[in-house]
Amino acid sequence: MQYLDFEKPIADLEKKIEELHELSVSDEVLKPELNRLREKADQLRESIFTNLTRWQRVQLARHPERPYTFDYIHHITDNFVELHGDRNFADDKALVGGFATIDGRSVMIMGHQKGRDTKDRKYRNFGMANPEGYRKAYRLMKLAEKFGVPVVTLLDTPGAFPGLEAEERGQAEAIARNLKMMAMLRVPIISVVIGEGASGGALGIGMGNEVYMMENTWYSVISPESCSSILWKTWEYKEQAAKELKLTATDLKELNIIDGVIPEPLGGAHRDWDKASGALKNQLLESLDRLKKLNPDQLVDGRIEKYAAMGDWTVKEQIKSNEQA
Amino acid sequence: MSWFKRKDTNIQTEKKKDMPEGVWVKVPATGETIHRRELEENFWVDPMSGYHFRIGSHEYFSFLFDEGEFTGLGDEIHPTDPLEFQDRKKYNDRLIDTQKKTGLTDACRVGIGKMNGLDVVIACMDFSFIGGSMGSVVGERLARAIDQARQNQIPLIIISQSGGARMMESVLSLMQMAKTSAKLAQLEKAKVPYISVMTNPTTGGVTASYAMLGDFNVSEPGALIGFAGPRVIRQTIGRDLPDDFQTAEYLLEHGFLDFIIPRPKMKQKLTRLLKLVLHKYESG
């Protein structure tokens, strides 16, 4: 288990418990002390994880042992058939998807895919998709529509890839076209942020009828680091940027941007993949049931109304209605 | 109450204004100077080098709308500070200061009027307002512009100039990409033409939503157009970028623009294009 800096007290205690546990196997006298420490560890975890700062959530969202898209697919679906390629240029390894079943129901499930070790991370381009990734997503969503299958998208990217070839092949156009397509898609779309929801790269597959975030994830127009470098002209202010950006699941629920927060096991999804997957699956089943009752027109209208209502502004009487230069 | 009361109470007239102070203006591309009047008469384009000075909604409206006349839409929508965002400066103070400095209320204005006799809805961004960044107000004004075009079957032109989404509105500004794209999807379904005009610069979330979604994507010469900024890309790939990288000419070459249009010819060419798709030549 890899511990984050703010988890250090927990790490120390867990190490002690482990040592004591080994000793207690031969010495019964140590049992009460062991139980006391375990209780203390629970309390410590509870107190640390109920008072996380926004920056700490960002760190948890990036935890290298968190479940990624394929992990969730393997935990919550059966019969998964992965589909490759955008039919134009390439198969993007950073954005994956295919048909599968969840509790016997067909879905199209797709998401950004990060790598686990150094080699794998490079292979998956750190979860940063190129235009062909977004165009593959386009193709798969249109396939789902053709066969009347609901779409589930899992968002986990530090951003769309900012590379020379990505620009050359139209990164912006690929994302823009997906947004317009998703608005009109005649099957349900359910989107869930499972890690990092960085800007257009995340939204490019994320225009759900319903949108959820796992408890320890972030979703924002920009990463705290980039925000710091632009607005403060230095990388030093990432923690404050995270605070100002209001980018956690509870923030977005309060802002009415997402429909709900999916609880994670105490300490984060990486501590218990089964439990995290179970919570995600429950939410998906509930949403699938609800959206199944809507006809295609209702799905499209509902989706467009949902996004049209987003934003915050005020109405002021005009001071000069007849402006003359 | 008189029955002939004028329906449009909000007719505005744009006169040409707002250029660098002083009679003589330096052309950045060449270092030469040009008389301000000459520049204005040539649509703020240097006749010698073809350098396009950046202009805002006031100037675009003044020459795209016949006689510079139009009815404003959504002017009453003003920005708020929903996240109480603060970097080195409070967002709220930044808004007030920028409004004072620019005389604008946010980074996009919408006008309904005639272009060479043709009804059009034109939305134009202003780079001078926090880098032309797209926040909730830009999204809402554009949404209304698009609705207006759809409901009245009037062609839509959006002139973009923007550094991207407005960070100080975080996820709310991100969602403006979804909002404007959804509205454009409806416009497409209604078969109303939409021309996206990209000017220098058009980047980030604006490019990745409405700017790239035109039936026709066009640009002024030399404009910077892209998703990621060149500095970020250089850092990511660790090598130098081609000289013409992310210019309008580069995008045309890679298939993302229909054509590049010098500003003095813009009005005429956009009108011709719209008349073609609206079958106006056949009825005339």
pLDDT tens digits for range B182-199: 999 999 999 999 999 999
Q: Is A163 on the interface with B (CB under 8 A)?
A: yes
Question: Which of B9, B80, B189 is opposite residue A313, by nearest beta carbon?
Answer: B80
Gap from A289 CA to chain B (nearest CA, Å):
25
Instruction: Establish, for the pair of chains A and B, how many residue pairs have beta carbons separated by less than 8 Å.
Output: 210
Are A231 and B87 an interchain contact pair (Cβ–Cβ within 8 Å)? Answer: yes
User: In angstroms, what separates the C-alpha of A199 from chain B's closest C-alpha?
Assistant: 6
Question: Letter for the amino acid at B88?
Answer: R
Calculate the average pLDDT of chain B.
Answer: 93
Q: Which of B87, B175, B227 sits opposite A257 (nearest CB)?
A: B175
- On chain A, the residues whose CB falls within 8 A of the CB of B108 are none
Residues of B in contact with A170 (CB under 8 A): 212, 254-256
Is residue A188 a contact partner of residue A151, using CB atoms and an 8 Å limit?
A: yes
Q: What CATH number does the domain containing B214 carry?
A: 3.90.226.10
Whether the pLDDT of residue B237 is over 50: the answer is yes
Residues of A in contact with B95 (CB under 8 A): none
Domain spans, chain A: 5-51, 58-308
Out of A200-214, A244-258, B10-24, B159-173, pick the least confident: B10-24
As a whole-number percent, the residues of chain A with pLDDT over 90 amount to 89
Q: What is the pLDDT of residue B284?
A: 52
Q: Dihedral of CA B197/B198/B200/B202: which sign?
A: positive
A-chain CB neighbours of B17 within 8 Å are 325
Tokens of B82: 């929903």
Q: Mapping DSSP to helix (H, G, I), strand (E, B) and coil, where does residue A34 land?
A: helix
Contact A324 B15 (CB under 8 A): yes
Q: For residue B187, what pLDDT is reported?
A: 98
Q: How confident is the model at residue B9 (pLDDT cuts 50, 70, 90)?
A: low
Q: State the helix-helix crossing angle for A171-184 and A131-146, rounded to 10 degrees.
A: 20
Residue at B275 is within a domain: yes
Domain boundaries, position B171: 56-283
Best residue in B176, B227, B233, B241 for a mutation probing chain A (most A CBs within 10 Å): B227
Render pLDDT for B262-279 as a digit per residue (tens, 0 to 9). Answer: 999 999 999 999 999 999
Nearest residue of chain A to residue B182 (CA atoms): A183
Joined together, the tokens standing for residue A156 give 């986990």
CA–CA separation, B155 and B122 (whole Å): 9
Mean pLDDT in residue range B75-94: 97
Q: Which of B167, B181, B256 has its CB closest to that of A183?
A: B181
Mean pLDDT, chain A, whole residue set: 95
Yes or no: say if A60 and A52 are a contact pair by the CB < 8 Å rule: yes
Encode chain B in three state secondary structure: CCCCCCCCCCEEECCCCCCCCCCEEECCCCCCEEEHHHHHHCCCECCCCCCECCCCHHHHHHHHCHHHEEEECCCCEEECCCCCCECCCEHHHHHHHHHHHHCCCCCEEEEEEEECCEEEEEEEECCCCHHHCECHHHHHHHHHHHHHHHHHCCCEEEEEEECCECHHHHHHHHHHHHHHHHHHHHHHHCCCCEEEEEEEEECCCCCCCHHHCCCEEEECCCCEECCCCHHHHHHHHCCCCCCCCCEHHHHHHCCCCCEECCHHHHHHHHHHHHHHHCCHHHHC
Query: Is residue B26 situated within a structural domain?
Result: no
Q: Which of A259, A227, A252 is nearest to A240 (CA)?
A: A227
pLDDT beyond 80 at B19: no
Q: Has residue B3 been placed in a domain? A: no
Q: Is the pLDDT of residue A320 over 80?
A: no
Smallest Cβ distance to B226: which of A172, A219, A255?
A172
Residues in chain A within 8 Å Cβ distance of B139: 310-311
Residues of A in contact with B232 (CB under 8 A): 162, 226
In tens, the pLDDT along A123-166 reads: 999 999 999 999 999 999 999 999 999 999 999 999 999 999 99
With CB atoms and an 8 Å threshold, state whether B80 touches A312: yes
Closest Cα of chain A to B120: distance in Å?
A: 20
Residue to substitute from B144, B175, B239, B250, interface A, most A β-carbons within 10 A = B175
**Residues in Cβ contact with B44 at an 8 Å cutoff, skipping those fewer than 6 apart:** B19, B52, B53, B55, B59, B263
Taking only the tens place, the pLDDT of each residue in B103-112 is: 999 999 999 9
A162 to B227: CB separation less than 8 angstroms, yes or no: yes
| Residue B87 pLDDT | 94
Q: Does B6 score more than 60 pLDDT?
A: no
Closest partner residue to B85 (CB to CB) among A170, A175, A244 is: A244
What is the DSSP secondary structure assignment for residue A66, as one 8-state letter? S
Quote the pLDDT of residue A22. Answer: 87
Percent of chain B with pLDDT over 70: 93
Termini Cα distance of chain B: 39
Higher-confidence residue of A2 and B173: namely B173
Report pLDDT for B189.
Answer: 98
Query: A115, A157 in Cβ contact below 8 A?
Result: no
Confidence bin at B17 (pLDDT 50/70/90): low
At residue B177, the pLDDT reads 98
pLDDT of residue A324: 40
Q: What is the mean predicted confidence (pLDDT) over B49-75?
A: 97
- Chain A residues whose beta carbon lies within 8 Å of the beta carbon of residue B245: 164, 167
Lowest average pLDDT, out of A204-218, A272-286, B12-26, B140-154, goes to: B12-26
CATH no. for A58-308: 3.90.226.10
- Using CA atoms, how far residue B239 sits from A163, B231, B233, in Å, is 11, 11, 9
Per-residue model confidence (pLDDT) at position B282: 86
Residue with the bigger pLDDT between A139 and B284: it is A139
Indicate if the pLDDT at residue A323 is higher than 60. Answer: no
Q: What percent of chain A has a predicted confidence (pLDDT) above 70?
A: 98
* pLDDT at residue B1, rounded to an integer: 41
Q: How many distinct structural domains can be found in chain B?
A: 1
- Alpha-carbon distance A271 to nearest alpha carbon in chain B (angstroms): 28
CB contact under 8 A, B167 and A227: yes
Exposed / middle / buried, residue B93 (Cβ in 10 Å: 0-12, 13-18, 19+): exposed
* pLDDT on residue B18: 56
Rounded to an integer, what distance in angstroms lies between the CA atom of residue A200 and that of residue A179? 10
Q: Is residue A104 over pLDDT 50? A: yes
- The span from the CA of A286 to the CA of A292, in Å, is 10
Structural domain contains residue B38: no
pLDDT computed for residue B21 by the predictor: 66
Q: Examine the pLDDT at A319 and tell me if it is beyond 70.
A: no
Q: Give the integer Cα–Cα distance in Å for A61 and A216.
A: 6
- The reply to whether B78 falls in a domain is yes
A60-81 per-position pLDDT tens digit: 999 999 999 999 999 999 999 9
Q: What is the structure's pLDDT at B16?
A: 58
Task: Classify residue B268: in a domain, yes or no.
Answer: yes
Provide mean pLDDT across the span B222-236: 93
Amino acid at B160: S
Residue ranges of E strands in chain A: 78-82, 95-102, 105-112, 151-157, 189-198, 210-214, 218-220, 260-262, 313-315
In the 8-state DSSP scheme, what is residue A3?
P
Contact A254/A65 with Cβ under 8 angstroms?
no
End-to-end, the C-alpha distance of chain A in Å comes to 67
* B147 confidence band (pLDDT: 50, 70, 90): very high
**Has residue B73 got a pLDDT over 50?**
yes
- Say whether residue A301 is in contact with chain B using an 8 A CB cutoff: no
Over residues B59-65, the mean pLDDT reads 98
pLDDT at A179 over 80: yes
Residue type, A318: Q
A183 to B205: CB separation less than 8 angstroms, yes or no: no
* Single pTM value for the model: 0.94
Structure tokens given for B125: 């961004």
Q: Which residues in chain B have Cβ-Cβ distances shorter than 8 Å to A145?
A: none
Using CB atoms within 10 Å of the CB of residue A302, give its burial: 0 to 12 exposed, 13 to 18 middle, 19+ buried.
middle
Query: For the segment A21-56, what is each residue's pLDDT rounded down to a tens digit?
Result: 888 887 888 888 889 999 999 999 999 998 899 999
DSSP-derived secondary structure letter, A193: E
Closest Cα in chain A, distance from residue B272 (Å): 25
pLDDT number for residue A318 = 62
3-state helix, strand, coil in chain A (%, to 5): 50, 15, 30
Q: By the CB < 8 Å criterion, does A155 face chain B?
A: no
Is A152 in a helix, a strand, or coil? strand
